[in-house]
């Protein structure tokens, strides 16, 4: 195998082929970066010299064609037809109109079809020509009524589903408008079958509301038939609360439910500044502009959008303890309950004095998402989906500043709690005593009539006996009405443990925030009734184009297994295999090469490994710092701070503790060496670590994301599964099969067969527990670090349950030679310890004032010190 001597040329594949723009629908391109760059070897699915090969691969369509073949036109489609591999779509696309491809073979094109951007079939599948005139406006509309399935640069795929129509109705769109706009944007006439289904499904959406009044929940509707359905339904009847003096449903006058329009400005927006300047008609302007634009395109006036409701409202009480049953049942009988909070007219709950600081300006997509939430003057419960690093925190804070009532914020870890608190204080005028944290280490209650509490899902959902102060805190939280419940990383909420958090409290408006509305189980659909419909979903590529998140080049690097590792891989059980493909010497060399290359370009590199054994082995071998679940807090903070500020520390190794929460805008390159099977969410969250790169607006700046995969192992399968979500967001993964200059790199690790065999011997002699991901291994092998410092939480999504037994076995190495050569171990020193020593020396020199620390770390340290002091005193 010959390789070019220059390391720089090895990455020319990015430079020579810098953008995904050329891809029609980029899925996966395999490109051999051979001896002559862009060379003579033809490559699978990749561009040949000079002419990029276009590859269209829409698995959904492909699959649907197979289904089509199995079922003659218009025959019934069974669930089983959908095929394997989409199991996670099942819940989310529950109630999808069609599961087959866009087949318009029998349709006639409209004469001016070239001007219209949509292909819409009779099952609700939509293809958008993103390059067509009015495509921009069409996409704004489609995000409101359909699920985005795939959005690469030129052709997008959407699907109309029951939940998507529910979202559309909940933000105030009417059936007539949906059908008419769709029809005008489509290149062919809409099929009567599709319009009939849209009409059928939307007939009942948005007509039932679940409201909280004076600590009591009521189901409300203005349609007598729906009231009848609800009151006679077995489950709902069972949840009903009948008080003596209220035998039948209450009837309110029409004025109590007339749909209002928003008459206030969302803080931090241009409309708020215009309203402050006293400009007439400032309120709701951005939205109206948008509506007017769509209206102009499709010829529908704003007045048509809403039909006035003027019937009386019927309402009956349901038990607060049965909320989940009520919500689920309403969804199941196709009467999903809208949850809206008329906070402006809530005189029972005291107002919270919170405003955005004047310097805070929210971005257009943040404003758009909030406009969906507050569009009708009330706070709609629902979910906002924005890419990692796009500023979900500020969206949540702005929503809290709009509602101005007590708020409960739930997030995934104590680090996030500290970050949320710090961000509230940074972006708003909330006083310190009105914002409290509820974690293992901090149990603060506000004494004012209103305030904000920030906690973690696991703190709230904990079962069993609690410490006295924690129990008191829970009573405090349960005893009051909350105007606003903010759920960060809301995709964790459907898990049994976390859904308790939603059902445990009396809340008026719920807002879920996430970047990745995907789970590998089928529970994502539960969010629809647990929290509310999806209100807004941003397009990652648009945000990257506008510089709000970084542009990322993604690559999968195929590392062949060495023959010795591969032989053992094939003969060992699957648990050991994980370690073998993670510790493949060719992979370690590839990691070393990429780290060197990117450090020399001035990048800051994060290397992710779920497997802690591999994490430590790589980091020590390559002389880098590492952080995993067992790293003490002080050491973590020290390493993170040095990574941010020290030009000599440019690479850190992180286990899954760094998947979320860690905010390192300095990082510009990610290398993933081992990951959690096929988790699409983890892949996206990891990518998210570099989307916020500080340098994202530098001319021509690209961040880099590499996944190192041992060739011909199960990693290949998992890797392509993991990429699914990002590919649907428009990212193109390029495959690198060879890294030029690697062989000639000075100080290459494991250069000889003997050293590689030594490594193999060590891997084989390591107990099976080393194949486990972070926390299992840490618990077994780093017992001394087990005690978490006060105030920290275990990271979510670690596999719980019983620990695997530690086994040692003697590997059959008689067929290997040179196995005794263990000289490489001498280099296996932990840089963490050196850093710690250096820091101690520096502190001694500077009086230990922690001058170089990031302010967040300083603050956190001060908080920790205060807690320790309190404990010592008490
Ligand atoms: N409108 C804005 N003005 C200034 N800074 C902003 C704005 N919106 C977001 N930011 C900044 O962008 C960075 C990323 O924001 P944030 O941490 O909220 O992202 P996120 O969407 O929650 O990411 P993740 O999903 O990775 O947690 C933060 O430093 C935040 O202060």
Higher pLDDT, 354 or 203: 354
Residue 105 within a domain: no
- pLDDT of residue 791 exceeding 70: no
Residue 192 within a domain: yes
CA dihedral 560, 562, 563, 566 (to 10 degrees): -70
The rounded percent of the chain whose pLDDT value lies above 90 is 16
Residue 409 pLDDT grade (very low, low, confident, very high; cuts 50, 70, 90): very high
**Tell me: the pLDDT tens digits for 319-330?**
888 888 888 888
Q: Do 532 and 662 fall within a single domain?
A: no
Last residue of a domain, one of 175, 204, 233: 204
Any atom of ligand 1 within 6 Å of the Cβ of 384: no
- Residue whose CA lies nearest to ligand 1 atom number 30: 391
Is 358 strand, coil or helix? coil
Q: Do 601 and 693 fall within a single domain?
A: yes
State which ligand 1 atom lies nearest to the alpha carbon of 366.
1
Mean pLDDT of 472-492: 88
* Domain range for 237: 206-243+309-336
- What is the per-residue DSSP string for 376-433? TSSEE-EEEE--TTS-HHHHHHHHHHHH-S-EEEEESSHHHHHHHHHHHHHHB---GG
Highest mean pLDDT among 64-73, 411-420, 460-469, 519-528: 411-420
Residue 592 within a domain: yes
Q: Specify the range with the lowest mean pLDDT, choosing from 77-86, 398-407, 624-633.
A: 77-86
Name which of 421, 409, 405, 401 is nearest 357 in CA terms: 401
Residue 101 pLDDT grade (very low, low, confident, very high; cuts 50, 70, 90): low
Q: Do 568 and 626 fall within a single domain?
A: yes
Token pair in block for residue 837: 């020593």
CATH number, residue 712: 3.40.50.300
Last residue of a domain, one of 501, 516, 549: 549
State which ligand 1 atom lies nearest to the alpha carbon of 663.
17
Any atom of ligand 1 within 6 Å of the Cβ of 399: no
pLDDT the model gives residue 404: 94
Residue 583 within a domain: yes
CA distances from 120 to 2, 189, 491 (A): 51, 9, 30
CA 78 to chain centre: 31
- pLDDT of residue 552 exceeding 70: yes
- pLDDT of residue 817 exceeding 80: no
* Helices vs strands, H then E, count in the chain: 32, 26
pLDDT the model gives residue 754: 92
Last residue of a domain, one of 503, 523, 549: 549
- pLDDT of residue 520 exceeding 70: no
**Can you list the alpha helix ranges (DSSP code H) found in 299-391?**
323-332, 364-374
Any atom of ligand 1 within 6 Å of the Cβ of 543: no
Burial of 2 (0-12, 13-18, 19+ CB in 10 A): exposed
Any atom of ligand 1 within 6 Å of the Cβ of 392: yes
Q: Specify the range with the lowest mean pLDDT, choosing from 105-119, 411-425, 560-574.
A: 105-119
pLDDT the model gives residue 597: 92
Q: Do 565 and 646 fall within a single domain?
A: yes
- pLDDT of residue 232 exceeding 70: yes
**863 Cα–ligand 1 center, Å:** 24
Residue 12 within a domain: no
State which ligand 1 atom lies nearest to the alpha carbon of 427.
31
Token pair in block for residue 148: 């985005």
State which ligand 1 atom lies nearest to the alpha carbon of 689.
26
pTM, entire model:
0.70
Q: Do 532 and 464 fall within a single domain?
A: yes
**Tell me: the pLDDT tens digits for 32-63?**
332 222 222 322 333 333 333 323 333 433 33
Q: Do 615 and 725 fall within a single domain?
A: yes
What's phi and psi for 193, nearest 5 deg? Answer: -60, -45
Any atom of ligand 1 within 6 Å of the Cβ of 390: yes
499 close to 524: Cβ distance less than 8 angstroms: no
- Residue whose CA lies nearest to ligand 1 atom number 2: 362
- Residue whose CA lies nearest to ligand 1 atom number 24: 388
Domain count for the chain? 4
Best mutation site among 389, 422, 690 for ligand 1 pocket (most ligand atoms within 8 Å of CB): 389
- pLDDT of residue 337 exceeding 90: no
Any atom of ligand 1 within 6 Å of the Cβ of 693: no
Q: Specify the range with the lowest mean pLDDT, choosing from 70-79, 89-98, 576-585.
A: 70-79
- Residue whose CA lies nearest to ligand 1 atom number 11: 391
Highest mean pLDDT among 373-387, 490-504, 793-807: 373-387
State which ligand 1 atom lies nearest to the alpha carbon of 489.
25
Residue 453 within a domain: yes
- pLDDT of residue 314 exceeding 50: yes
- Residue whose CA lies nearest to ligand 1 atom number 12: 391
Highest mean pLDDT among 274-278, 359-363, 425-429: 425-429
**437 Cα–ligand 1 center, Å:** 20
Establish whether this prediction's ipTM goes over 0.90: yes
Residue 343 within a domain: no
What's phi and psi for 238, nearest 5 deg? Answer: -65, -25
Any atom of ligand 1 within 6 Å of the Cβ of 386: yes
Residue 517 pLDDT grade (very low, low, confident, very high; cuts 50, 70, 90): confident
Any atom of ligand 1 within 6 Å of the Cβ of 684: no
Any atom of ligand 1 within 6 Å of the Cβ of 394: yes
- Residue whose CA lies nearest to ligand 1 atom number 26: 388
Q: Do 409 and 530 fall within a single domain?
A: yes
Q: Do 321 and 429 fall within a single domain?
A: no
pLDDT the model gives residue 356: 93
Q: Do 150 and 192 fall within a single domain?
A: yes
- pLDDT of residue 443 exceeding 60: yes
Any atom of ligand 1 within 6 Å of the Cβ of 408: no
Residue 9 within a domain: no
Q: Do 658 and 717 fall within a single domain?
A: yes
Q: What is the mean pLDDT of the chain?
A: 72
Q: Do 594 and 525 fall within a single domain?
A: no
Token pair in block for residue 161: 């589903």
Any atom of ligand 1 within 6 Å of the Cβ of 688: yes
**662 Cα–ligand 1 center, Å:** 12
Q: Do 645 and 509 fall within a single domain?
A: no
């Amino acid at each position: 195998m010959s390789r070019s001597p220059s390391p720089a040329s090895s990455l020319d594949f990015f430079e020579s082929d810098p953008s995904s723009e050329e891809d029609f629908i980029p899925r996966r391109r395999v490109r051999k970066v051979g001896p002559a760059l862009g060379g003579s070897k033809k490559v699978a699915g990749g561009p040949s010299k000079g002419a990029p090969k276009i590859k269209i691969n829409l698995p959904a369509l492909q699959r649907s064609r197979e289904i089509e073949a199995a079922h003659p036109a218009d025959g019934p489609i069974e669930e089983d037809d959908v095929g394997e591999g989409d199991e996670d779509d099942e819940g989310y696309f529950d109630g999808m109109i069609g599961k087959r491809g866009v087949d318009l073979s029998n349709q006639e094109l409209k004469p001016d079809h070239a001007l219209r951007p949509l292909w819409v079939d009779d099952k609700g599948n939509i293809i958008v020509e993103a390059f067509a005139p009015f495509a921009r406006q069409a996409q704004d509309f489609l995000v409101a009524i359909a699920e985005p399935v795939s959005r690469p640069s030129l052709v997008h795929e959407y699907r109309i589903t029951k939940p998507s129509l529910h979202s559309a109705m909940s933000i105030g769109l009417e059936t007539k408008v949906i059908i008419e706009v769709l029809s005008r944007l489509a290149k062919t006439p809409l099929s009567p079958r599709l319009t009939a289904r849209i009409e059928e499904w939307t007939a009942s959406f948005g007509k039932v509301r679940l409201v909280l009044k004076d600590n009591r929940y009521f189901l409300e509707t203005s349609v007598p038939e729906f009231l009848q359905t609800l009151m006679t339904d077995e489950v709902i009847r069972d949840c009903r609360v009948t008080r003596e003096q209220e035998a039948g449903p209450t009837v309110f006058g029409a004025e109590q439910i007339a749909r209002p329009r928003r008459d206030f400005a969302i803080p931090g927006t241009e409309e708020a500044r215009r309203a402050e300047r006293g400009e007439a008609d400032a309120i709701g302007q951005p939205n109206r502009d948008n509506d007017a634009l769509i209206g102009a395109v499709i010829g529908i006036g704003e007045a048509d959008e809403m039909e006035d409701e003027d019937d009386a409202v019927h309402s009956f009480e349901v038990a607060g303890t049965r909320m989940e049953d009520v919500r689920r049942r309403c969804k199941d009988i196709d009467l999903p309950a809208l949850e809206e909070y008329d906070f402006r007219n809530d005189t029972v709950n005291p107002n919270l004095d919170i405003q955005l600081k004047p310097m805070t300006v929210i971005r257009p997509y943040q404003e758009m998402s909030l406009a969906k939430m507050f569009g009708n003057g009330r706070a709609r419960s629902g979910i906002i989906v924005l890419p990692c690093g796009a500023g979900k925190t500020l969206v949540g804070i702005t929503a809290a500043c709009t509602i101005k009532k007590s708020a409960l914020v739930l997030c995934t870890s104590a680090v996030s709690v500290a970050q949320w608190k710090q961000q509230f204080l940074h972006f708003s005028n909330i006083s310190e005593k009105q914002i409290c944290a509820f974690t293992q280490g901090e149990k603060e209650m506000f004494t004012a009539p209103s305030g904000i509490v920030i906690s973690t899902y696991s703190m709230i959902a904990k079962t069993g006996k609690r410490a006295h102060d924690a129990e008191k805190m829970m009573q405090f939280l349960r005893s009051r009405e909350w105007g606003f419940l903010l759920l960060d990383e809301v995709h964790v909420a459907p898990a049994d443990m976390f859904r308790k958090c939603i059902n445990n409290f009396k809340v008026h408006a719920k807002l879920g925030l996430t970047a990745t509305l995907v789970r590998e189980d089928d529970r994502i659909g539960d969010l629809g009734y647990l929290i509310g419909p999806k209100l807004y979903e941003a397009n990652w590529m648009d945000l990257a184009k506008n510089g709000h998140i970084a542009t990322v080049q993604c690559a999968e690097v195929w590392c062949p297994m060495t023959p010795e590792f591969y032989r053992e891989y094939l003969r060992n059980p699957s648990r050991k295999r994980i370690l073998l493909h993670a510790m493949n010497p060719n992979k370690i060399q590839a990691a070393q090469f990429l780290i060197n290359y990117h450090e020399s370009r001035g990048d800051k590199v994060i290397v992710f490994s779920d497997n802690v054994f591999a994490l430590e082995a790589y980091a020590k071998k390559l002389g880098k710092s590492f952080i995993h679940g067992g790293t003490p807090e002080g050491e973590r903070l020290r390493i993170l701070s040095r990574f941010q500020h020290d030009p000599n520390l440019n690479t850190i190794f992180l286990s899954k503790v760094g998947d979320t929460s860690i905010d390192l805008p300095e990082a510009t390159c990610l290398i993933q060496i081992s990951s959690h099977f096929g988790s699409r969410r983890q892949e996206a969250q990891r990518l998210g670590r570099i989307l916020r790169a500080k340098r994202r607006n530098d001319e021509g700046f690209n961040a880099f994301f590499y996944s190192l995969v041992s060739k011909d192992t199960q990693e290949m399968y998992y890797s392509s599964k993991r990429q699914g979500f990002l590919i649907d967001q428009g990212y193109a993964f390029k495959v690198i099969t060879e890294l030029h200059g690697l062989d000639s790199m000075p100080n290459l690790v494991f250069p000889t067969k003997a050293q590689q065999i030594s490594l193999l011997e060590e891997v084989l002699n390591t107990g099976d527990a080393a194949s486990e991901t972070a926390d299992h291994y840490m618990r077994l092998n780093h017992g001394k670090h087990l005690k978490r410092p006060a105030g920290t939480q275990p990271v979510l999504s670690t596999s719980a349950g019983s620990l695997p037994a530690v086994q040692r076995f003697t590997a059959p190495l008689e067929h290997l030679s040179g196995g005794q050569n263990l000289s490489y171990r001498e280099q296996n020193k932990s840089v963490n310890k050196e850093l710690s020593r250096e820091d101690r020396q520096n502190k001694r020199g500077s009086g230990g004032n922690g001058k170089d620390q990031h302010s967040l770390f300083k603050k956190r340290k001060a908080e920790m010190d205060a807690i320790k002091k309190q404990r010592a005193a008490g």
